[in-house]
Amino acid sequence: QLAPRQPSLFACSVSPKDSQEDLFWSPSGEQLLCEASTVLKCVQEDSGQRGIYGKLVCTDFKIAFLGDDEAALNSDETQFKNKVIGENDITLPCVDQIYGVFDEKKKALCGQLKKYPEKLIIHCKDLRVFHFCLRYTKEEEVKRIVSGIIHHTQTPKLLKRLFLFSYATAAQNSTATDPKSHTVMFDTLKDWCWELERTRGHTKYKVVSVNEGYTVCERLPAYFVVPNPLSEEDVPRFQGHGIPIWCWSCHNGCALLKMSALPKEQDDGVLQIQKSFLDGIYRTIHRPPYEIVKTEDLSSNFLSLQEIQTAYSKFKQLFLIVMSVENNLMSFLFLLLSDNSTEFWDTDIKWFSLLESSSWLDIIRRCLKKAIEVTECLEAQHMNILLLGNIFKSQKETASDLCCLLSSLVQVMLDPHYRTRVGFQSLIQKEWIMGGHCFLDRCNHLRQSDKEEVPVFLLFLDCVWQLVHQHPPAFEFTETYLTVLSDSLYIPIFSTFFFNSPHQKYMNMGRESQDAQNQSLNLLTVWDWSVQFAPKAQMLFTNPLYVEKPKLDKGQQKGTHCKHQRQLSLPLTQSKSSPKRGFFREETDHLIKNLLGKRISKLINSSDELQDNFREFYDSWHSKPPDYHGLLLPHIEGPEIRVWAQRYLRWIPEAQILGGGQVATMNKLLEMMEEVQSLQEKIDERYHSQQGLQTEAASMLRSSSARLSSLFPFALLQRHSSKPVLPISGWKALGDEEDLAKQEDEFVDLGDV
Amino acid sequence: SPAAAPDQRPGRPPRTPAPRLCARLTRPRLPPPAGVLVGSAVLRASNKPAEMEEPPLLPGEDVKDVGPCAKDVTYICPFTGAVRGTLTVTNYRLHFRSLERDPPFVLDASLGVVSRVEKIGGASSRGENSYGLETVCKVSVWPRAACSWPPSSRAQGRHAHARPVDIRNLRFAHKPEGRTRRSIFENLMKYAFPVSNNLVGAFPLREAPRRRRARAPVLAPALPTALPQPLFAFEYKEQFPENGWKLYDPLAEYRRQGIPNESWRITRANERYELCDTYPALLVVPASVPDEELRRVAAFRSRGRIPVLSWIHPESQATITRCSQPLVGVSGKRSKEDEKYLQAVMDANAQSPKIFIFDARPSVNAVANKVRARRRVPRGLSSVVWRPPLALRRRDTCGLSGEAKGGGYESEDAYQNTELVFLDIHNIHVMRESLRKLKELVYPSIEEAHWLSNLEATHWLEHIKLILAGALRIADRVEAGKASAVVHCSDGWDRTAQLTALAMLMLDGHYRTVRGFQVLVEKEWLSFGHRFQLRLGHGDKNHADADRSPVFLQFVDCVWQMTRQFPTAFEFNEYFLITILDHLYSCLFGTFLCNSEQQRGRENLPKRTVSLWSYINSQLEDFTNPLYGGYSNHVLYPVASMRHLELWVGYYVRWNPRMKPQEPVHSRCRELLAKRAELQKKVQELQREVSSRSSSSSERASPPTQCAAPVQTVV
């Protein structure tokens, strides 16, 4: 065998002049489905529009445009190149909407077409917009490519037809090297034990393996963690429902738990059985060493999937800036001095109200606020938190989605481990992948139901981005990492985001294994970043501001406090809840009622006390200097929740700040760190070998930040010239200020003239 | 009269403050700089006990009123609720201290920021805290609450107290029987508004604008106790190692730009301010235009503000010149001299066959300017009240043509090879109103749910955008088009100053340094007669004056937006900009007093007051941006899109204890800089060692075991 050749070569780096066979590297299993030549890709540039001739192909992996002068474009900047997806590639799951232009009218395309468009506009889920002019393409080819693209991206398909499987089969022999990324995958007993130990939860919680082979519940992972006293026989009683499942333990011993509510029953007998079962469960988790439990019911009073979906679809429209159709029709002329940025400036005037009306930022704020509330209970009130809802049900049920979102947000805020890259990846494995987030449905990878498509994971990443943006030194990873991660959702060679549950993955791999000579499929994980990026490019994932925790106190001492925490915390807790004598009992009833599906108005959540606690906690944290290796809370005031500019604005040339933006800061810091490092090396060398001081440290990111634009590392080729973007003047009516506007600056004091 | 002291207003009960504790107020991050905190301990460098009742005084500052009665005053804080303590008024500040809280609650504000003082409630008012004083601060002057600025330790030294701190509305409740309110009120009126109180001319601004006297009848009579009282800047006696008044030398600055050269000359035609009383003494004009001609051009330009050079491109020789509007009027008058003059400006730049005239106003307003008669206002009527009758404002100027000179813009017919561009920037009244709305938006609390649309409704960022966009256009024409640009608005001292200064900031890296920026402010704003006194109303109690407007603040906001977009391109930091704005209002330094170079000279400000730059340049490290570097030769084009503009929370909302303090990026960067310096020193030492050894090669140096522990890198 040769050295492990990465199958990633199938990204279109071969010029179209080469023969068909060379186009796609066969071991990748990629197959050409249809193609069309002399397609004109419209490129927006500051001087107007430009067209590039080339070939449009559709494979079972992607839609790709192979420009005739590809080579010239590609050689330009190689610093941050995705090895799997080229600049002009759109993976099939990444396609969002397809529009055709017929006689200057834009129409969404789907199903069978009677007439074929002159122009194809593809909106991508990563917010790129492609324009392909088909005017010079042979009619036959137009038909084939348009219907091909529509068929392969817009019609429902079977899971088995995902490129993932053909790729895995084809790449079988190429030994996708085991990712030595140290990401904990949580697919073994050992991983869970390790996590329990790390968080000091092992004194009160244990890993169970009753669900090996997914015999108990298909929505639960093979291994999970429950309180110690719970017997393994209890778990299957209601197929895992009503069982408190451990997510994470706080340094003070409090834990974040989740539980699926029991199915609603009408029958009184069954109800009685359920009640006594829950009573038993409750008794075990509500006496020492366990802390007081507070339930957080996610199925009511919080966000709904519908809200998130509506908000995001409005929000993303703000960034899918489309060149006006009329101009594009004339784009057979290569250079047109057209104002294709009109839309950008038109929306610019009402930008803030447009943003607000999408309410995406408000949803982020609500998520963050909820997470702070949960954090407050864990951290300040020493309570266990039980996230409750129909978390096993995936369809049309918010609770399971919000459970993943909330529990992982809380953990990012509380546990500095999850603010490292490896830790963050482990967290996603634990809460999202093993937690059974329905990526397949939520991303609509199979195009089976648009209603199910809700960007919950993106919402989570956006929440994390807010934290990253507000507390830059606290995270080991950068916003670029988050952006790239959000893009990776749509690359169908990684198994990570293409299943609804570990069970589904297990089933699909298992069946395959019989076909393929008992060899299980070798699916890639997205955490193996080397598949997508060269080490040099991966450097942009590491935050130069991050300082590792000093090695001395690696949280070891915390464990020793653990046992005393309960006693210590009691007086504090009591003083707070003293006005409520019956707190304990009430809460029990509350919990049980909730679990039984008979929800009554909230006892705890509605009280003002909670609001006050929240405010006090929030204000007092923000009044102190943040400890980046401790609890981290976001600011949630109006001006502090922002648009994740890098992800959303990166393809819009008008929004590009040449030589500016965050990138400039980062670059400067990297530069300085490099200098410090090389100086250090010089000194070290000097000590070791009496005669150093000659070697020059190789620079890693040495392009002057003045030349980078704020869109770096994305959209490198959008604008080369250094012309400024001149706003097209637009002025909204001043309304009641109109009168003032008519006044002269000064109409007195003219006697002196 | 809109001004002053409505006595015995029916008791307006103070708003009940939010009972929440503002925790930021006791932020212990850095030992807070002396005296700049609202609601926190003053930990002075000298570690004086906090029980001290007197505020830390500046040289020249005097405690005027600490009667025993001023002790029992209640301050009603919008964040932490009522707090009782001692209120002191000096000739510079208002100081409130309460030992009720731990750490002691301190509020300290310079009187320069006071916009008006009102009495609340009468002797008979009932209810707690219903009798007292309300101090309203000038638009845009809001304090930081507990400051994490400046980051370096030096700032805790003696000058940090110079920063004014206040909250927009300060409410103090007095005990009716204590009779303290009257004396506090009188002192406040006396020291906060010395200009208004010295109408007879005994106050330092001897050359009081005539209009003030014209307005005299409408002002409330001076308080009987008022003695001639100067602005505090005239009493401030601090010594600094550097004299900031010497910082700007016009000749040196023009020399730096390469002037005089064959096409441009420096003229002293305005040495006695006779050509134009709002221009500086030294002007740069086309070499081909003789001084006599300048007078004829001046006659055709509003207030004699002829086109003069602000900046010249070092390579293309394209220039930015500034002026006021031409007095074309409705009849479309022409001036041969003016046309010739602009032709000369164009000819000075061989690169472009065209010259661009940027009119900052919206085209509608520029048109209206032609027909709107600029009329003499009847004496005794304030500009607030008087407006020309509508008919006069709109049309029908025929009858006025004799006495009134209409403004307007250069027609492309009269001026050959020119292109006229309107930049759509609104006038000072619109800006003032916009800022007022902004203030309402952020004070006292921020509504989360409609934050964005409310922000949009203030139009503030929209104005910022238009100003930036205008400057961008100018910079683009000059840089890319290699064409010269002439910039004017109506009078050429508000919007014009904003535009030229910003365009120069984009084009010339020198102005992005600390000293360069100071020169820019001195040159484009102070020497070219931005009417600071009029726009800010130093010491003037006429708070509703229609001439007040946040023009300079807007400029600084634009600069801040640029520093956000180019975090490594500016030598100064946010704190530098905030400090400038703080002292814009504080009246501690003489820099922003008066309206023109002529007035400043007449008042002899450089001798009698201290320059802000003296203070800033004496502790530069607090004001420098650690990220600065590598941009000096670049032209910066900010993106003037709402997508990249943001509200300057660090300035407008800094009093709010919930707002985020400065980002930690800078501290990390400083850390790295320190590390680098340390290592560089070490390397140099080693190098020296090596070279000394190689010179005496036979000797073997002992291994440097003493430095065995290498420096810990944080990389």
Residue-level pLDDT at B344: 94
**pLDDT of amino acid B35:** 29
The CA-atom distances, in angstroms, between B175 and each of A361, A698, B5, B17, B120 are 47, 73, 19, 19, 12
Annotation-wise, does B693 bind a ligand?
no
Residue A713, preceding bond cis, omega within 30 degrees? yes
The confidence band for A178, taking pLDDT boundaries of 50, 70 and 90, is low
Query: E-assigned strands of A68-110?
Result: 89-91, 95-102, 105-108
CA–CA gap between residue B279 and residue B297 (Å, rounded): 14
* Closest CB from B631, B679, B687 relative to A693: B687
What tokens were used for A4? Answer: 């492990």
Question: Does residue B611 come out as left (phi exceeding 0), alpha (psi in the -120 to 50 range) or beta?
Answer: beta
User: Phi and psi for A201 in degrees, rounded to 5?
Assistant: -90, -5
Structural tokens at position A216:
């108990």
Distance, in Å, from the CA atom of A93 to the CA atom of A152, rounded to the nearest integer, reads 9
Give the model's pLDDT for residue A115.
Answer: 86
Per-residue pLDDT at B442: 82
Contact B95, B66 (CB under 8 A): no
Cβ atoms of A501 and A676 within 8 Å: the answer is no
B489 labelled catalytic? yes
Residues B557 and B620: beta-carbon distance below 8 Å:
no
B388 a known binding residue? yes
* Distance between first and last Cα of chain A: 92
Residue with tokens 């209002």: B585
- What DSSP string describes B156-205? GSTTGGGS----SEEEEE--GGGTHHHHHHHHHHHHH-HHHH-TTTTSS-
Burial class (CB in 10 A: 0-12, 13-18, 19+), A160: exposed
Phi-psi region of B127 (alpha: psi -120 to 50; beta: other; left: phi over 0): left
* Choice among B77, B489, B558, B587 that is catalytic: B489
Report cis status (omega within 30 of 0) of the bond before B150: yes
pLDDT-above-70 percentage for chain B: 70
Q: Is A738 on the interface with B (CB under 8 A)?
A: no
pLDDT in the model for residue B63: 72
| Strand partners for B114 | B137
CA angle A121/A125/A127 to nearest 5° reads 70
Report whether pLDDT(B651) > 70: yes
Those residues with Cβ within 8 angstroms of residue B63's Cβ, 6 or more apart along the chain or in another chain: B54, B55, B57, B88, B90
Rounded to 5°, the CA angle A624-A625-A626 comes to 105
- Looking at beta carbons, which residues of chain A come within 8 Å of B388? 747
Distance in angstroms (rounded) separating the CA atoms of residues B112 and B98: 23
Spans of all domains in chain B? 39-181, 244-666
**Tens-digit pLDDT profile for residues A383-408:** 889 888 776 665 556 667 888 999 99
B221 in a known ligand binding site: no
Alpha-carbon distance A102 to B392, whole Å? Answer: 55
pLDDT-derived band at B681 (thresholds 50, 70, 90) equals confident
Helices (H), B372-482: 390-394, 428-442, 451-458, 460-479
Chain A residues within 8 A of B650 when measuring between CB atoms: none
Strands in A442-507 per DSSP E: none
Q: Which residue has the higher pLDDT, A21 or A679?
A: A679
A515-543 burial, b if ≥16 CB within 10 A, otherwise e?
Answer: eeeeeebbbbbbbbbbbbbeeebbbbbeb
Cβ separation A731–B566 shorter than 8 A: no
Confidence of residue A737 (pLDDT cuts 50, 70, 90): low
pLDDT of residue B501: 97
Phi-psi map region of B408: left, alpha, beta (phi>0 left; psi -120 to 50 alpha): left
Please indicate whether residue B156 or residue A727 has the higher confidence score (pLDDT): A727
Asked whether the predicted pLDDT for residue A353 surpasses 70, the reply is: yes
At residue A706 the predicted structure's pLDDT band, cuts being 50, 70 and 90, is low
pLDDT value, residue B49: 41
Helix axes A456-470, A398-414, angle to 10 degrees: 20
DSSP 3-state of A252: coil
List Cα–Cα distances, A35 to A31, A32, A39, B12, in angstroms. Answer: 11, 8, 10, 78
B429: DSSP letter: H
Answer yes or no: do A750 and B465 touch at CB < 8 A.
no
Sequential DSSP letters for B12-48: -PPPPPP----GGGG--SSPPPTT--SSS----TT--
pLDDT of residue A589: 58
- pLDDT value of position B551: 94
Check the annotation: does B553 bind a ligand: no
Distance CA A235, CA A215 (A): 11
- pLDDT higher than 70, residue B561: yes
Highest mean predicted confidence (pLDDT) among A707-716, B206-215, B590-599, B679-688: B590-599
* A639/B634 touch (CB, cutoff 8 Å), yes or no: no
What is the nearest CA distance from A633 to chain B, expressed in angstroms?
Answer: 12
Q: If you average pLDDT over every residue of chain B, what do you get? A: 75
Contact state of B491 with A746 under an 8 Å Cβ cutoff: yes
pLDDT exceeds 70 at position A720: no
Instruction: Note the pLDDT of residue B478.
Output: 94
Q: Which residues contact B485 (CB under 8 A, 6 or more apart)?
A: B318, B319, B320, B321, B355, B356, B357, B358, B474, B477, B478, B503
Q: Half-sphere exposure of residue A669, counting CA atoms within 13 Å on the CB side?
A: 25
Give the pair of three-digit tokens for residue A270.
Answer: 């069954």
Which of B430, B641, B659 is opposite residue A654, by nearest beta carbon? B641
CA–CA dist B417, B429 (Å, integer): 34
Which pLDDT band, with edges at 50, 70 and 90, does B616 fall under? very high
Q: Please indicate whether residue B369 or residue B229 has the higher confidence score (pLDDT).
A: B369
Q: pLDDT, tens digit, for every residue of B246-269?
A: 999 999 999 999 999 999 999 999
Task: Work out the average pLDDT over B344-361.
Answer: 92
Q: Are B352 and B317 in contact (CB under 8 A)?
A: no
pLDDT of residue A721: 52
What pLDDT is stored for residue B610 in this prediction?
93
Q: Is the pTM of this model over 0.80?
A: yes
Q: Which of B376, B448, B646 sits opposite A750 (nearest CB)?
A: B376
Of B434, B475, B566, the CB nearest to A664: B566
Task: Name the nearest CA neighbour of B662 among A626, A442, A259, A4.
Answer: A626
Considering only residues A530 and A338, tell me which one the structure prediction assigns the higher pLDDT.
A530
Model confidence at A725, pLDDT cuts 50, 70, 90, reads confident
| Pairing of β B132-137 and β B169-173 | antiparallel
The CA distance from B88 to B95, in Å, is: 5
Maximum alpha-carbon separation in chain A: 101
pLDDT in tens, A253-308: 899 999 888 877 778 888 888 888 888 888 888 777 888 888 888 877 788 889 99
Q: How far apart are CA B155 and CA B153, in angstroms?
A: 5
Is some CB atom of chain B closer than 8 A to the CB atom of A346? no
Q: Which CATH number fits domain B39-181: 2.30.29.30, 3.40.50.1820, 2.30.22.10, 3.40.50.2300?
A: 2.30.29.30
Neighbour-count burial of B178, counting CB atoms closer than 10 A to its CB (0-12 exposed, 13-18 middle, 19+ buried)? middle
The pLDDT score that the predictor gives to residue B140 is 42
Report the distance separating Cα A598 and Cα A596, nearest Å: 6
| pLDDT digit string, tens, across residues A106-141 | 888 887 788 889 889 999 999 988 989 998 899 999
Name the phi and psi angles at A398, rounded to 5.
Answer: -75, -30
Does residue B54 sit in helix, strand or coil? coil
Give the model's pLDDT for residue B214. 38
pLDDT at A684: 79
Q: Which residue has the higher pLDDT, B146 or B464?
A: B464
Most confident of A566-580, A625-639, B419-433: B419-433
pLDDT for res A395? 56
The proportion of chain A whose per-residue pLDDT surpasses 70, expressed as a percent, equals 72
**Mean model confidence pLDDT for chain A:** 77
d(CA A108, CA A312): 19
Alpha carbon distances (Å) from A597 to A261, A262, A300, A397, B170: 7, 7, 12, 14, 53
> H or E element: which one contains A146?
helix A139-154
Distance CA(A751)–CA(A745), nearest Å, equals 16
